């Protein structure tokens, strides 16, 4: 190795020593700083280990983000299911508060929703557990961050100390360094020794840069994970609040259903008692059924004539577009079609046929038009004691409202009047052959009785 040295004085033979390369004090002092620092040796992580640490930091960041994304997707799916379930519960409560379309169907629906609420509770519990696990992982990453910060700070301190020592060394002349050595050979050895530690310093500096890169990734992971964990906790708390409301609503719906079942049972029991009292006299019952059948036929014939007259006057459309709506909130005590209630007259192959839907409610409850149209008839039937309102919605579609009150709350519409959907037309009564306050709602299409449910939205 050729080292730059100062030119020496002539030797005893008069010859001058060949010029030696000059070794700069600053370069020399940088090479010398480890020796002057004494025990400042540290282990320097190999380059491939630094790359592995950075790759590991990125892998942890990606894994945490994947877990967070999966939890957000789970919350999104749960939220969608919760929205549907809340809508179903609200719809069921509305049905219970209005007309009970089918008590058994409502019961089945409530059972189904109870199962869905239980599934939602399990999902929320699972989500809470996963968020807690994510929180623990966040603590682990934060601990790793602190460790890496400590390591980086220690390496920076070592390097800073070496630089300070090198600065102080730079103030010592090369001659003093040489003179302090016992032999020139020692100086050469010392320089070689210092050159080895200059490589250590370079590796240390590189490791500090690598550590800083790893720490930057870890810090970004901590910040992102902390923010998203807080978001997930808030979302999970929101889902728990929705679930709590659903549980309360479902409990209210169950209680409402129980009350309605008791109310329906009481009404049916009262009706059955009245029917049984009438059935005691078989001959009288048969005569009553025959009279009812005749009266119904006569009033139907009358309504057909009135509809044709209204059509000729241009008062009703030839076709009806749209649907009908429930005319009354209440308890359905009898559906359309063949029935076991022998107080109903026969029709077709049915010994007893109910031509509409019976909706029970308190006396004088408002009855509304099921759809827009022209009032064809309003008042007492000319063939029996029932008071009725009939509305023609078109040439083909007619709706009937039987047993309306005729005393304190008589019908408030008259024949020839046009009404809108939902407009009050009469009030619940007990006129005609009835066992309790209710509305008999019937729908005819071209003089054929059809189930009113077919026209509901």
Domain contains 17: no
Domain contains 47: yes
The per-residue pLDDT for 274 is: 65
How big is the CA angle at 413 (ends 408 and 416), to the nearest 5 degrees?
150
Domain contains 14: no
Contact 411, 404 (CB under 8 A): yes
**How far is residue 183's CA from residue 41's CA, in Å, rounded to a whole number?**
26
> Of 184, 164, 194, nearest to 32 (Cα)?
194
Domain contains 185: yes
Is 42 in a helix, a strand, or coil? coil
75 and 165 in a single domain? The answer is yes
227 and 84 in a single domain? The answer is yes
Give the bridge partners for 338, in sequence order.
353
Which residues, 6 or more positions from 224, have their beta carbon under 8 angstroms from its beta carbon?
61, 64, 65
In this structure, how many other beta carbons lie within 10 angstroms of the beta carbon of residue 157? 11
The pTM for the full model equals 0.52
Which residues, 6 or more positions from 299, have their beta carbon under 8 angstroms from its beta carbon?
381, 382, 383, 384, 388
348 and 435 in a single domain? The answer is yes
Domain that holds residue 68: 25-264
Q: What is the pLDDT along the chain (457 residues), one digit of tens a residue?
A: 444 444 444 444 344 444 444 344 444 444 334 333 333 344 455 556 667 777 877 787 787 788 778 777 777 777 777 787 778 777 777 767 665 556 667 777 788 788 878 877 777 777 777 777 777 877 887 788 788 788 878 877 887 777 677 656 555 554 555 556 555 556 555 555 554 555 666 676 677 777 778 778 777 877 777 787 787 778 778 778 888 888 888 888 888 778 777 777 777 777 666 666 666 666 666 677 777 778 888 888 898 898 888 888 877 887 888 899 999 988 888 888 887 666 676 677 777 788 899 998 889 999 999 999 999 999 999 888 899 999 999 989 999 999 999 989 999 999 999 999 999 999 999 998 887 889 999 999 999 999 999 999 8
182 and 52 in a single domain? The answer is yes
Domain contains 3: no
Domain contains 276: no
Domain contains 294: yes
252 and 334 in a single domain? The answer is no
315 and 354 in a single domain? The answer is yes
Which residues, 6 or more positions from 296, have their beta carbon under 8 angstroms from its beta carbon?
345, 355
The CATH number of whichever domain residue 330 belongs to comes to 2.70.70.10
Domain contains 269: no
The per-residue pLDDT for 42 is: 44
242 and 303 in a single domain? The answer is no
Contact 82, 242 (CB under 8 A): yes
In this structure, how many other beta carbons lie within 10 angstroms of the beta carbon of residue 5? 17
200 and 299 in a single domain? The answer is no
182 and 302 in a single domain? The answer is no
296 and 391 in a single domain? The answer is yes
216 and 243 in a single domain? The answer is yes
The per-residue pLDDT for 16 is: 42
Among 202, 234, 264, the domain-final residue is 264
Among 264, 297, 330, the domain-final residue is 264
Among 264, 292, 308, the domain-final residue is 264
Q: How many structural domains compose the chain?
A: 2
- φ, ψ of residue 318 to 5 degrees: the values are -75, -30
293 and 181 in a single domain? The answer is no
> Of 41, 311, 291, 47, nearest to 161 (Cα)?
41
């Amino acid at each position: 190795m050729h080292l730059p040295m100062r030119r020496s004085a002539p030797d005893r033979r008069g010859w001058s020593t060949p010029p030696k390369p000059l070794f700069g004090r600053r370069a020399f002092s940088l090479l010398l700083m480890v020796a002057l620092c004494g025990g400042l040796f540290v282990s320097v992580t190999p380059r491939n280990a630094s790359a592995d640490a950075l790759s590991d930091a990125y892998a942890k960041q990606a894994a945490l983000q994947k877990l967070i994304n999966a939890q957000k997707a789970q919350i999104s799916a749960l939220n969608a299911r919760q929205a549907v379930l809340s809508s179903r519960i609200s719809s069921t409560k509305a049905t219970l508060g209005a007309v009970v379309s089918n008590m058994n169907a409502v019961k089945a629906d409530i059972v189904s929703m109870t199962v869905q609420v239980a599934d939602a509770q399990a999902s929320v519990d699972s989500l809470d557990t996963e968020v807690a696990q994510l929180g623990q992982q966040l603590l682990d990453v934060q601990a790793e961050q602190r460790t890496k910060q400590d390591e980086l700070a220690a390496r920076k301190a070592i390097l800073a100390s070496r630089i300070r020592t090198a600065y102080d060394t730079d103030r010592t002349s090369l001659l003093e360094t040489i003179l302090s050595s016992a032999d020139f050979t020692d100086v050469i050895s010392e320089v070689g020794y210092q050159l080895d530690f200059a490589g250590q310093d370079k590796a240390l500096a590189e490791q500090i840069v690598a550590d800083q890169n790893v720490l930057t990734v870890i810090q970004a992971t901590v910040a992102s994970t902390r923010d998203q964990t807080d978001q997930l906790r808030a979302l999970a708390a929101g889902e728990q609040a929705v679930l709590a409301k659903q549980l309360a609503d479902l409990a209210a719906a169950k209680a409402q259903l129980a009350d309605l079942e008791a109310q329906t049972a009481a009404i049916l029991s009262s009706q059955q008692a009245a029917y049984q009292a009438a059935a005691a006299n078989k001959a009288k019952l048969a005569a009553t059924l025959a009279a009812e059948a005749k009266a119904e036929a006569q009033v139907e014939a009358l309504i057909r004539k009135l509809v044709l007259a209204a059509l000729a006057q241009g008062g009703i459309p030839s076709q009806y577009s749209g649907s009908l709506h429930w005319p009354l909130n209440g308890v359905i005590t009898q559906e359309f079609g063949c029935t076991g209630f022998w107080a109903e007259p026969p029709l077709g192959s049915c010994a007893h046929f109910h031509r509409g839907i019976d909706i029970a409610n308190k006396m004088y409850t408002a009855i509304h038009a099921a759809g827009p149209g022209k009032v064809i008839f309003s008042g007492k039937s000319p063939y029996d004691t029932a008071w009725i309102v009939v509305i023609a919605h078109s040439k083909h579609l007619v709706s009937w409202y039987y047993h309306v009150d005729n005393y304190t709350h008589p019908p408030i519409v008259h024949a020839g009047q046009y009404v809108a959907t939902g407009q009050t037309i009469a009030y619940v009564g007990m006129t005609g052959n009835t066992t309790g306050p209710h509305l008999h709602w019937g729908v005819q299409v071209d003089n054929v009785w059809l189930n009113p449910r077919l026209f509901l939205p």
